[in-house]
Chain A
Amino acid sequence: MSAPTTTIPAARRRPLGAVLRRPSSAVAFAFLVLLVGSAIAAPVIAPHDPDAQELGNRFAGVSLTHLAGADEFGRDVLSRLLYAARIAVTAPLISVGVAVLIGLPTGLWAGRRRGIVDAVSGRLADTLLSLPALASALAIVAVLGPGLTNAMVAVGIIFSPTVFRVVRGATLSVAEETFVESATAIGCSTRRTLWVHILPNIAAPLLVQVTILMGVALLAEASLSFIGLGVQPPEASWGSMLGAAYRNQYDAPYAVVPPGIALVLTVLTFNTLGDALRDVLAGRRAS
């Protein structure tokens, strides 16, 4: 036999490489690396203790000691921004983690088993999706009590029907493929078929959804922290910093700028990467 001569589009085997070849997503990816890096290295690179109050410095402007100024308690804004990056990274991870933990197995099961499992879980998902997201999150937080983890678990629960739907839809279409029938024919158990053959084939749409949800989760975190249901003082998140800035808008109207920019850039990063992944993977399907 002659050796195969066809070349595979690079996008097929290495989607990340294809994503990074786009200038916009390369920039987004670089920003993400920077964000995670500063979150990890915050204790080393932060110029001050983020919670150290210097009341004499209240609303201090930009200076060499306070590169981004100081807040209403005289705390260094740059240091708080850097520490808050930790929350910007971990909080969405909690939500998306919870959403995937709930949505993935149920979606796989519903998509593969169809029938009554599918009907019941589908209705449940529809019901959850028809509730106003933030109001439901508030209700769940009211039950669990305020705090960042509780808030993000609540957001994760709200997201889970979205993940369920994506997984179920992808599973339904993959389950129609002959290789799934072939897996049954050689004697694979349902569990093996799901994890070994179906899951890797639905990874692409799931990855896209997860990336986009990261951005939405960050916004949700910011909103909850803004109204005081997320991070608890003195810990800082960009949302709670925005909240503080809002309350002190007459004393320091510029204070909304640093956390605002950080928030917008990060959400934009997640969305850019999600869109790029979707385009690359869609092209992969089409080819």
Chain B
Amino acid sequence: MTDAPVLRATGLTKSFPLRRSALGRVVDRVRAVDGVDLTVTAGRTLGIVGESGSGKTTVSRLVSRLLTVDAGTVEVDGVDVTAARGRALKALRASLQMIFQDPYGALDPTKTVGHAVAEPLLVHGRIGRRELTDRAADLLSRVTLDPGLVHRYPEELSGGQRQRVCIARALALEPRILVADEPTSALDLSTRSEILNLLLRLQKENGQAIVLVSHDFATVRHLSHRIVVMYLGRVVEEGPAALVAGEPLHPYTEALLSAVPVADPDEQRGRKRIVLHGDPPDPARPPSGCRFRTRCPVAMDECARIDPPLVPVGGERSVACLRHPGPAPVEPAAAAAIRVAR
């Protein structure tokens, strides 16, 4: 296993139009992702956790080139693919595959399971039509599905079976990177554990890098080596999974963890609770300074003025909070300068 990153994203920024004038000009936009950096190494899982409006889903679409960045770069194996088109883009597709949240909508209802699974090979010219059924059967058995399902249609399958089909489809091209957007949130409890086990096993067998995007801290904690916590389009904390989930530094991470109830009555009722008050702010009009300050239980006056940058604090961790200024304390003026430079 090498430490060279297979996927590196820097300064990812993306905004979406909210409103257009009668002439089609964008008059209001929301910055869904604002200067996000990510690095994933082979065989490792990077978990991105955040609530709705955090921009985590947009990040997954940006690194997989399903959306185009406004600013920033995406590198796969050291090659800049931010503006890849045509053949280069198709090559990128072969090395980076996606697993979607909704296994019900992710499969074309008019195509058989076999077609769904082997289609990537067909599109990339790796097999002919005649080999489709055999290859599909192989792929299905890799995700422990009955190869006899090749001639079935998605609607005949359960949610868990469909998600396995989606995973088999994503594996067909033997990608180096899997981006999984909420792969288990549409599934029932017992099915969810099957899918998580499958992802763990496949990663051990094939050494894929996985980017796991989820709102569920427990799922992210279970699969990830490193965790990125997002809030309103920014990364607020990043670091090794055990540390981020065990000793969170950012008040938002702390609140998020505290909000996830533990499935143990004694432990859960003995925990310190941090209940946030108020709704998250409108992402189109984020508050000044730190974006979390309006809901932060430990906000200070400076938080309204200074937008804290994500700074390393040692132990391979980074935090964007004025209460954790890192080894070299950031002067308010310096922080302001950093903010202006963005």
A interacts with B: yes
Residues of A within 8 A of B (CB): 1, 3-4, 6, 8, 12-13, 119, 177-179, 181-188, 192, 197, 200-201
A179 vs B149: C-alpha distance when bound (angstroms): 19
Of A8, A12, A178, A188, which is within 8 A of B105 by CB? A178
Bits for B60-71, please: 1 = Cβ < 8 Å to A, else 0.
Answer: 000010100000
Residues of chain B within 8 A (CB-CB) of A200 are 108, 110-111
B194 to A, closest residue via Cβ? A1
Q: Range of interface residues on chain B?
A: 35 or more
A3 to B, closest residue via Cβ? B146
A186 B105 Cβ-Cβ under 8 A: no
Residues of chain A within 8 A (CB-CB) of B156 are 4, 6, 8
B108 A197 Cβ-Cβ under 8 A: yes
B166 to A, closest residue via Cβ? A182
Of A3, A12, A182, A184, which is within 8 A of B106 by CB? A182
27 contacts between A and B (CB under 8 A): A1-B145, A1-B146, A3-B148, A4-B157, A6-B156, A8-B153, A12-B155, A179-B105, A179-B106, A179-B108, A179-B109, A181-B106, A182-B107, A185-B64, A185-B93, A185-B98, A186-B97, A186-B120, A186-B169, A186-B173, A187-B89, A187-B120, A187-B123, A187-B124, A197-B108, A197-B110, A200-B111
The verdict on B94 contacting chain A, using a C-beta distance below 8 Å, is yes
Residues of chain B within 8 A (CB-CB) of A12 are 155
A183 vs B93: C-alpha distance when bound (angstroms): 11
A200 vs B157: C-alpha distance when bound (angstroms): 20
The verdict on B204 contacting chain A, using a C-beta distance below 8 Å, is no
Known: A12-B155, A177-B105, A186-B173. A1 touches B123 (CB 8 A): no
Interface of A, helix, strand, loop or mixed by DSSP: helix
A187 to B, closest residue via Cβ? B93
Of B100, B123, B155, which is within 8 A of A8 by CB? B155
B148 to A, closest residue via Cβ? A3
Known: A1-B144, A1-B146, A3-B146. A186 touches B155 (CB 8 A): no
A250 vs B300: C-alpha distance when bound (angstroms): 99
Residues of chain B within 8 A (CB-CB) of A178 are 100-102, 105-106
B100 A182 Cβ-Cβ under 8 A: yes
Q: Which residues of B from 93 to 144 have beta carbons under 8 Å from A?
A: 93-94, 97-98, 100-102, 105-111, 119-120, 123-124, 144
A179 vs B156: C-alpha distance when bound (angstroms): 17
The verdict on B161 contacting chain A, using a C-beta distance below 8 Å, is yes
The verdict on B152 contacting chain A, using a C-beta distance below 8 Å, is yes
Of the listed residues B24, B106, B146, B172, the one surrounded by the most CB atoms of chain A closer than 10 A to its CB is B106
Residues of chain B within 8 A (CB-CB) of A119 are 24
B107 A185 Cβ-Cβ under 8 A: no
Q: A78 CB to closest chain B CB, in angstroms?
A: 45
A29 vs B272: C-alpha distance when bound (angstroms): 71
A189 to B, closest residue via Cβ? B123
Residues of chain A within 8 A (CB-CB) of B24 are 119
B123 A181 Cβ-Cβ under 8 A: no
